[in-house]
Each structure stands twice: as C-alpha cells, then as structure tokens.
Amino acid sequence: MRTIDFSREPRAVLELMRWQTLVSPEIEQRVQQILRTVEAEGDEAVTTYTRELDCKFIDSLGLRVTEREEKAAYKSVSKDFMRAMKVASANITAYHKKQLPKSWKLNARGVMLEHRVIPLRRIGIYVPGGKAAYPSTVLMNAVPARIAGVKEVVMTTPCSREGKISPEVLVAAGECGITEIYRIGGAQAIGALAFGTESILRVDKITGPGNAYVAAAKKLVYGRVGIDVIAGPTEVVIVADESAHPSFVAADLIAQAEHDENAVPICITDSNLLVEGIQAELRRQVEGSPRKMVVLSSLRRHGVIILVGRLKDAVNIVNELAPEHLQVLTRKPERFAGKVTTAGAIFLGPWSPEALGDYVAGPNHTLPTSGTARFSSALSVSDFLRFTNIIRFSKSGFARLVRHAEVLAEAEGLVGHAASVRIRNEER
C-alpha cells in the first residue's frame, strides 16, 4: 500500500479525487445490446443470456425460484445465522421507521393544499451473487420498501452454474416477505425488471448494487423506470491520529479491500509512526486472509495512505473525496466529523467499524459512491415513496390570487395561461 506525503505531492492526492469512471463506453455498448434484445424477445432473451453467462441448466430449472427451494433454504442455514439476521432486521426496521414521512394538509383563506405520500406499487431488488452472497443487501433494500408500504417486492439474483442460490439470501428474502424471486443476474435481469417479460411484470423502480454491467444497465433504463444509484466500486476513507490502533486501521482497510479488486481503501493520518504501524499490520494480517489475492490486488491498485501535516488538511481532503464510508479514529472524532459535509456514512471512534454498519447497526448500507455523496444520500424509506401535491381553490381563494397569476403568466409570455385564469375571473 503506497504512502503519499500531501505536503510534497498534493497533485497525487488530487488524482484520487477523480474517482474511477462508473461505466466504461465498452461495457455500456455491450449492455445496450443486451437490453435491446431483452426488450424485444423477453423471456427467451433472458434465458439465453442466463444460460450463456451463469447457469447451463436454466431451461429445466426455470427463471423463477420455486416455493420448494425457498423452504429448503431454511433447513440449511444455521441457528446463529437466523439469530443474527433477526437482530439485524429489527435494528434496520427500527431505524427506518423513524424516516417515514406523513401526508399533511394546509388550509388558508380559500386555498386547500395537500402533500400526499404514496408508496410505489412494485419495486425490483437486485442482489449481487457471483463472488459472494449478500443477505444483508436483501434486508437493506426490502425492509425500507416494506416500511414505505410497497405491496409488491421482486428480487433477482445471479445463480451458480448449477442454478443454486445462496440459502442465506433466500432466507433473508423469506423473512422480508419476498416470494417472487428470479435466478437471473447482470444486465438481462435489469432489463427484465425495467421492461417486463412474459413471466416477469415490470417494476416502478430498481434498487440494489451490482457489477459494472448492472450499473450500466441501471443507467440506461433510467427514465423507463426509477433507480436508486449507479454504484461504483466500494470505498472507505479512514482518518486516524496517533491515538489509533494500527491493527484496527489495517483490519478495516482489509475489510474494504476484500470486496473486490476495484475496492478503494484509503487512510489519512498526521502520524508517521502510525503509517509504519499500519504497513506492518497490513503485511501481517493479509497473510491470514482467505481472500488474500483479492485484498492484495485492491491494496496495490487503489490503496493509499495519505500523510498530512495537520488534521485540518484531512477535513478538506475528505470533503473533496466525498467518500462512501468515512471512519474517524481520532481522540475527538465528533469534533472532526462536525466539519465533514460530504460523506455517505460516518463511523466514529475505535468501536464503530464499518462492518457493524454493513450488517447490524440499523442505518442503510446502500450509500453513494465515486464522490456522489456530494449530492446524494443513503437509501431510505423515501426512495420507495412518491409525493403528490393536491391543490383546490374556492371561489374566494381564486379571487384573491387570480390577478397575481395573470401578471406572472403575461411576464413569461404565456398568454394562454393568463387567459385560462382571466376567463374564470370574468365569469365569477
């Protein structure tokens, strides 16, 4: 993991702020072709792509996971897993219930205004597969959707070559009340959810992370369907001073790096001694990681320790990076965090590792990546709601505001607008 001295190489740090491109033109072109085919050919195209890319037995298994498979999953997971998942689900539910907005009305002098909160009718959750299983992704997407009042929640997830899906993922879906599950992944799954096929009804919105092909597909179907975010590689920035445990910092960097080769683990510190300790701990801890090759690739390609002269510089760097995850391991983490304006989620102190936030803390772990925390936020209950404005004027309310509307319409040159209120004024 390389080290950059900010005082000597400020440009190298600025380069880090140019986050990886979310979707390459080559991938986007391939995904466009897949989406066009899925839209035109429906189930046949989805089945063909799944057979080629994931499961050779898809024709005999079928796209939809059976009730028998869902029930079998419960028998193959451990009691410890069930207990952990119920704790996580309870915490996620408690946190997200606090987010639920309410409809309201305002009546004033002949004008009735209403802000109505309406849940989406049908949403699709994409749960990654392939290199790992992610039951936590099911919880983080399905729980807020259910709290919002979404009636139909559909899930797609890639299967193995034999057509299997992680039993933990299926159990998580079952606990969230998801009974419509499809063993499909990649761009073809996004296309099926967005356009609909003979056997999969289209959805109103698609949420959930995925690889570059999934990100490209979500980008391209946006407008035909809603999406949460276009997710880039996952990232963490750890700000630490001399009070931090080198072993903690190294462990948290490794935890981020093990996601995949494109994960971005960054540490910012004002302590030369800590830099040395982190590097030593990384060498020691990586050797014992079952995902050693993935971790090493991430650390070598994207990992960096930034040495700053003072933590004030770290604040500026963090606000420019707008990281997905920010961990603050300093003597006064609240003081530092109070100066941070752009981060997806902030973890304070030595006993708040990102891993707790990923699973059991309660806040959502679907966060903005690639610097998009500058203008977007974590997935929330509001992502599964629509907000409709309702307006009703009485005759007296109309009379009070009609002339103002007419003046503004004329100022914009929209004579029809002005006429539509004037004609009512003449009839009043």
Task: Give the active site residues.
Answer: 324-325
Q: 21: which DSSP letter?
A: P
Taking the CA atoms of the chain, what radius of gyration do you get in angstroms? 25
Helix spans in 79-221 (H): 79-97, 135-148, 167-175, 186-195, 212-221
Contacts of 312 (CB under 8 A, 6+ apart): none
Contact 46, 192 (CB under 8 A): yes
- The backbone torsions φ and ψ at residue 226, rounded to the nearest 5 degrees and listed phi first, read -80, 155
d(CA 349, CA 351) in angstroms, rounded, equals 6
User: What are the residues facing 264 on neighbouring strands?
Assistant: 235
Contacts of 170 (CB under 8 A, 6+ apart): 65, 69, 70, 73, 181
Contact 261, 294 (CB under 8 A): yes
Contacts of 171 (CB under 8 A, 6+ apart): 73, 74, 77, 81, 82, 85, 135
